[in-house]
Amino acid sequence: MTARAWVIMNPGGVRRVVVTKELPGKRWLQLLTAADCRVEIAQGDEVLSRAELQEAIGERCDAAIGQLTESWSAETLGALTAAGALIYSQYAVGYDNVDVAAATRLGLPVGNTPGVLTETTAQLAVALTFAAARRLAEGDRMMRAGEYHGWLPGMLLGSLLYRGTLGIVGAGRIGAAYARMMVEGHKMDLLYYDVRANVELEAYVADYSAFLLAHGERPVTCRRAETLVGLLRACDVVSIHAALTEKTQHLIGGPELAAMKEEAVLVNASRGRLVDEAALAAHCRTHPRFRAGLDVYEDEPAMAPGLAELDNLVLVPHLGSATTFTREGMATLAAANVVAILEGWPVWHAVAGLEDVAPFLDGPESPHAAPSIVNADDLGLPRLAGQAPTKEDQQ
């Protein structure tokens, strides 16, 4: 091991599991120790380097639970399998830091934690939306600086989003949850841009629209945008929920920002590299009525030069899943993935939302299954009886 401090739980356990950060809650650790695992937990806030990860893995390791901030490259995953590991489990729903193709070639299952953080992350995107639109961060700074000297008619005027047009870029689980919150709560018309039509979301909005009509109110609309630029031009709010790929890096850059309305609000609680931060800083500097709320950044924890000095930006430190329930639930799912693969249990059915993973979180005993293995079908892993193999949407 390195000079980094490690805590060892259940030192007499037969199976060795490396955990690269202290995780919230107790259930995850109970699951591992009940499966006769010796659990070695890295201490400290620093991100483990590739060298530290490989040193931690050592010559014998049965499984690892890692973080989105770490680089699980082909080399590191190779070291993990060489040490005898049967699974790498990610403490996150996203896994763009993991070379899944390499893991599949190595025969190594890769776990993640969908479902439990859908509503929480969508809720954070809503919070960013209104913090930016109503200029809450500016008001907070004014109060703390003692600069509020009384109510004025023109002070910190923001945007009323009620009955406006909402744009979603990426209508997967989190994007759809955010859309429902905004459409239901603020009666906004919805445009979404995605490679696939989300017929469930369209049906949901249609049902809500019928409800409004039945109560004598104007209905709302939902349609899939043909182009990203078309969506950007039409919307008062644009929230990004796309997956990060080579094609979607800098999906929102200078030309896309220029297409947006003068007083539009841009929200990113997905992946930092989806937005060209330098272009965003330049746009916000020259368009003071444009506002944005960011939870993620291109080069976390660093931000692009100039972002921090701009009043029309709300900046928070990757809080999307930061509720006690969600972070503890993520730990439970990550551990349940490990236990299931070590025990030779099948994979759970495709996860669409919280209700699908609730049995792992709420019951006295977790199901004998892995909650989510992203490469399960490619590896030919068995699923629960009656569950057909399904390519899961890991958005």
Query: Is 300 a residue of the active site?
Result: yes
Question: Closest by alpha carbon to 117, among 268, 295, 274, 331?
Answer: 331
Query: Is 271 a residue of the active site?
Result: yes
Task: Given the residues 184, 202, 263, 300, select the one marked as catalytic.
Answer: 300
Rounded to the nearest angstrom, the gap between the alpha carbon of residue 246 and the centroid of all alpha carbons in its chain is: 18
Question: Closest by alpha carbon to 4, among 38, 53, 67?
Answer: 53
**Phi and psi, residue 231, nearest 5°:** -65, -45
Question: Closest by alpha carbon to 239, among 207, 196, 192?
Answer: 192
Sheet strand arrangement including 6-9: 6-9, 37-42, 15-19, 63-66, 87-90, 110-111
In angstroms, the CA 40 to CA 342 distance is 16
3-state SS assignment for residue 118: helix
Question: Closest by alpha carbon to 132, among 292, 316, 307?
Answer: 292
CB atoms within 10 A of CB 193: 24
Task: Given the residues 250, 285, 318, 368, select the one marked as catalytic.
Answer: 318
Q: In the chain, which ranges are continuous DSSP H helix?
A: 27-34, 50-57, 74-82, 100-105, 118-133, 136-144, 173-186, 199-214, 228-234, 254-259, 277-286, 324-343, 354-362, 376-379
Scan for tokens 């629209």, then name that residue: 209
Query: Is 147 a residue of the active site?
Result: no
Task: Given the residues 15, 16, 224, 271, select the one marked as catalytic.
Answer: 271
Using CA atoms of 216, 222, 223, 225 in order, give the dihedral in degrees to the nearest 10.
Answer: 130
Catalytic residues: 271, 300, 318
